[in-house]
Amino acid sequence: MDVAVSNQARQLENTARRFVINVTASAQRAYEVRSCEITSDAFRNRTSFQSSISLEDVFADDIAAGLRSCLSKLSGDTEVVALPNYVLEIPGLTLAGAQLVATRTQEDILHIIIRFRFFVGGINNVFRSKLGFDDTVNDHAANLSVRVLADIALPFLNICEAYRSGMVTEKTSFTEFVAGLSERSQELRFQVELLKRFVDSKDKTEELSGPNSSINIRQLSAITSDIDEF
């Protein structure tokens, strides 16, 4: 959407932070995001995607729709399209001043660079939460719970069932199982300890977003500690 440049946008233009998106397209494939890049006078941070991924898979709905609006300005040939008055806003983030550089290759693939001259706010708001850029403590605790169940609890139950049914009779098999279990538990304990430190630090500055976050983490820590003692 093209809008008149506001006083806020003029003030934002003084910032040096820029957001760049690299996209490809062809007759057989729709727009696919190859990478995203944040640049400033002091640093450059690039995120590349290893597989074919669409705009809607990477970006929040309003951002994806705004990018498609920008891309609709292209003719499909090699060209440069400037949209200096373009402003894309979502809660917590403003992108402004778009420029599109499109290059048609001999293989009939269109490479497109979408460059926003400046932005303010948290750039992580541009991405879908499932990508993992803004996972909360609750999400990580839930993921760790699943890993504890899959990597430790279920194998332990399986070996117990094997002994009960008489399928395992050699002492070496049990010894190897315990050694592998202990090795995996060390990694999980390390992650749990990091989470505990994060929660302790967060408690000092603000209220936790979920009332059961610290409880879940303490339960995970207790589980891994019991396994180590075993």
Q: What is the per-residue pLDDT across 184-220, written as a single tens digit (0 to 9) for each? A: 667 666 666 666 666 666 555 555 445 554 445 555 5
Over residues 89-122, the pLDDT tens digits come to 998 899 999 999 999 998 899 999 999 998 888 8
Whether residue 36 is predicted with pLDDT greater than 90 in this model: the reply is: yes
Give the Cα separation of 58 and 56 in Å (integer): 6
pLDDT at position 5 is 45
Phi, psi of 15 (to 5 degrees): -75, 155
Q: Look up residue 54 and give its DSSP letter.
A: B
pLDDT at position 51 is 78
Mean pLDDT of the chain: 75
